Structure formats: C-alpha cells, structure tokens
A and B are shown apart, each in its own frame.
Chain A
Amino acid sequence: KAGVTQTPRYLIKTRGQQVTLSCSPISGHRSVSWYQQTPGQGLQFLFEYFSETQRNKGNFPGRFSGRQFSNSRSEMNVSTLELGDSAFYLCASSFFGGGVEETQYFGPGTRLLVL
C-alpha cells in the first residue's frame, strides 16, 4: 500500500505570490491534517479535513486555506506569501480521524522557501 504523498517536495516562491501544496492520503484514509514546521515555532497544526469538510483549525491567518476532494486528496493554499511562511509543510492521513487512538501517517513534506 502506497504511503502519503506530497507534491511538490521543494518549492521557491517570492513574497506576494500564492502557492498550492498537494497531499494524497493513503488509499482508504478519509482524514487529512496539515502542519507547518519551522525552527522557531516547531510543529504547528494548520487544519484537518474529513469527508471534504474542515473539522478542526489551528491559529493561522486566513491566508492559509485548504480543501479536500471527494477522493480524499487535499490541497493547502497560502495566498500573499510572506517571508515567514518559509517552512516545512507536512500532511498526515488516517482512516477515520474520529478516534484519538488512530495512528496518523505522515507524508515526506514540502519545503517552501519564500524569497
């Protein structure tokens, strides 16, 4: 069974641009979560989607948005990029996401550099 995939793996953008990152969960998984990882702030929860609906949201500005498609693939969009958005973005999937005992499987991440 293939793992969680994220595309692209590396990305360079300039301030003011927007970016879209993609996450394909493990087949059969319906919950997808996104995290931002930076040296200063560590791992921070962005949002979680389940069955095309955002179920949980972290404390990020509205420039960060996401969506989930009917095949459970998810995209994360950041508009009007700022230098501080440079980070490692991770997504994770799980089958249902309704039980805390479930295991989340993480993708390899996307490294975004904003110049």
Chain B
Amino acid sequence: DAGVIQSPRHEVTEMGQEVTLRCKPISGHNSLFWYRQTMMRGLELLIYFNNNVPIDDSGMPEDRFSAKMPNASFSTLKIQPSEPRDSAVYFCASTLPRGEQFFGPGTRLTVL
C-alpha cells in the first residue's frame, strides 16, 4: 500500500483565496483525522471521521474551515477565505479500529 496520500505537497496562495487540501487514506482504514501543525501551537487535531461521518470537529478554528469525506477513499479540507495565520503544515492520518495512526506526508500551506 502507498500509505496515506496527500495533495498538494506544497501550496502557496494569496489571502482571500480558497484552498482545498486532499487526502486519500489507506485502503480499509475506517477513521480519518485532519491535523494542523505550527511551531507555536504544535500538532492540533482539527476534525476526525469514523466510517465517513464527522465525529468531532471541535478543533476546527472557525467557519472558514470545512471538511468532507464523501467516501471511504477520499477527504478534503477547505479553507475559504484563507488568511496568513492559516499558514501551517496540514496532516491527514488514517487508522483501523484500535490501531495506530498512519500519517501522510503533509501539505505545507503558505498564505501570503
């Protein structure tokens, strides 16, 4: 298996633009997590899905952030409109029940 796949790996955009980050979990994994990492705040859990259903989105910063998981093999994290403070590395992770989390390589987002 190729592991968790994220795209793009790098994204540079201007303030106010819409940003869409994509994640393909490992086949057969039923839980998917979106994290954000910055030097100041560390690794923060934004939202997680179980069997494609959002379970806890309390970590989503504000209404500008939204996440979807239309099927078991794909999820998106959208920021609209983006702001400079959204600059961070965004990780997606997937897991089996009671299993370890497998992280993707991350998307480095820079909002100018």
Do A and B come from the same complex? no
